A and B are shown apart, each in its own frame.
Chain A
Amino acid sequence: MHDIYVISFNSTHHAIRFEKRLKELELNIKTIPTPREITSSCGLSIMFSKDNIDTIKNNIDDLKIDYYGVFNIKKIDDGKKELTKLY
Chain B
Amino acid sequence: MRIEVDARGLNCPLPVIKTKKELENINDGIVVTIVDNEIAKENVLKLVNSMKCESKINQEENNYYIEITKGEFEELESMQEEITQKQEVDDNTVVFISSNVMGRGSDELGEILINGFIYTLSQTTPYPKSIIFVNSAVKLTTENENTIDNLKLLEEEGVEILSCGTCLDYLNLKNMLKVGQTSNMYDIVERLRNSSNTISI
A-side residues, CB < 8 A to B, are 12, 16, 30-33, 37, 44, 76-80, 82-85
Contact = CB atoms under 8 A, between A and B. Distances in A.
Given A31-B116, A44-B116, 14 more contacts: A16-B108, A31-B112, A31-B146, A32-B120, A33-B120, A37-B56, A44-B112, A76-B49, A82-B45, A82-B57, A84-B56, A84-B59, A85-B57, A85-B59
B54 interface: yes
B146 A30 contact: yes
Given A30-B146, A32-B116, A85-B58, A77 B108 contact: no
B109 A84 contact: no
Given A30-B146, A84-B57, A77 B49 contact: yes
Nearest to A34: B116
Interface string B64-99: 000000000000001001000100000000000000
- Size band of the B side of the interface? 20 to 34
Contacts of B109: 12
Interface of B: 45, 48-49, 52, 54-59, 78, 81, 85, 108-109, 112, 115-116, 119-120, 146
A41 B57 CA distance: 20
Contacts of A82: 45, 55, 57
Nearest to B56: A83
Contacts of A85: 56-59
17 contacts: A12-B109, A16-B112, A30-B146, A31-B115, A32-B116, A32-B119, A76-B49, A78-B78, A79-B85, A80-B48, A80-B49, A80-B52, A80-B54, A83-B55, A84-B56, A84-B58, A85-B57
Nearest to A35: B123
Contacts of A80: 48-49, 52, 54, 78
Contacts of B78: 78-80
Contacts of B45: 76, 82
